[in-house]
Amino acid sequence: MHQPDTPALSVQALSKSYAEGRNRRTVLQDVSFDVAAGECVALVGRSGSGKSTLLNLLAGIDRPDAGEVRIMGQNVTTMGEPELTLLRRRHIGFIYQFFNLIPTLTVAENLALPLELNAMPAPTRRARITALLAKVGLAGRDGAFPDQLSGGEQQRVAIARAIIHDPALVLADEPTGNLDAQTGHRVLELLAHLFRDEGQTLILVTHSREVSAIADRTFAVDQGRLNADTEALSW
């Protein structure tokens, strides 16, 4: 059972390397940090710095060489695939750079999918979908298909899908990276507002100073290590 004083996310001495021919390339080395419930933390760094690898380790999509990840006190690194699937389904939301909406499903059906997987009754699902679409400025668009929406609208749906099942933790990988500057700014404002309002914990991977500015704390991922001094990073 998750206790109120337990960090929503705890990372301890996490390391990861990959084979490159006969050698191994270290991507992350001895990374440790805690994130409180309701906090937003940004991970910034250059392309290839290990940001996305760290996000995959947090979600249990990839396995570390050493160290551990705990979500709501549960050790992700020792879980088998069935346990990880349930953890992600119930307690983790994902926001991707390229939306990843299912093109053959309507907006409402895309949002209903995580609720159906968690066995939420149909009337409750409909009410949750209607309320959240209004919050993201897409009231009345529940019957539209993804290709009938603009890029900014699709990312609004993707954000709504990530939080609709009220997860403890949301992982966002370059959430405005596929949008033009003006649309990205509007989506960023929405993201900041929603997470303050909904109270979820957000881990945000980005290479943008503007995006990282919405976070409570920012860490630089540089040469496999986590550094609180983002001014030392070459943006």
Per-residue pLDDT of the chain (235 residues; tens, 9 = 90+): 445 567 899 999 999 998 888 888 899 999 999 999 889 999 988 877 888 899 999 999 999 999 999 998 899 999 999 999 999 988 899 988 788 899 999 999 999 999 999 999 999 999 999 999 998 889 999 999 999 999 889 988 998 999 899 888 999 988 887 778 888 888 888 888 887 777 789 999 988 788 888 889 999 988 888 887 555 455 4
For β-strands 9-20 and 23-35, DSSP reports them as: antiparallel
What does the block give as tokens for 195?
Answer: 């997470």
Chain Cα centroid distance, residue 72: 15
- Do residues 141 and 200 touch, judged by C-beta distance below 8 A? no
**Burial (CB count <10 Å: 0-12, 13-18, 19+), residue 21:** exposed
Domain boundaries, the chain: 39-52+79-232
The secondary structure of residue 202, as a DSSP letter, is E
For the four alpha carbons of 65, 66, 69 and 73, in that order, the dihedral sign comes to positive
pLDDT, residue 231, reads 56
- CA-wise closest residue to 50 among 100, 89, 99, 11: 11
Strand partners, 28: 16
- Do residues 9 and 91 touch, judged by C-beta distance below 8 A? no
- Which amino acid belongs to residue 157? V
39-52+79-232 in CATH: which number?
3.40.50.300
* Continuous segment of H or E residues that includes residue 211: helix 209-212
- Do residues 188 and 210 touch, judged by C-beta distance below 8 A? yes
Position of tokens 């290839």?
48
Alpha helices for 75-198 (secondary structure H) = 81-91, 107-117, 122-135, 151-163, 181-198
Around 33, how many Cα atoms within 13 Å sit in the side-chain half-sphere? Answer: 21
Say how many C-beta atoms besides its own lie within 10 A of residue 8's C-beta: 22
pLDDT, residue 4, reads 54
Give the pTM.
0.86
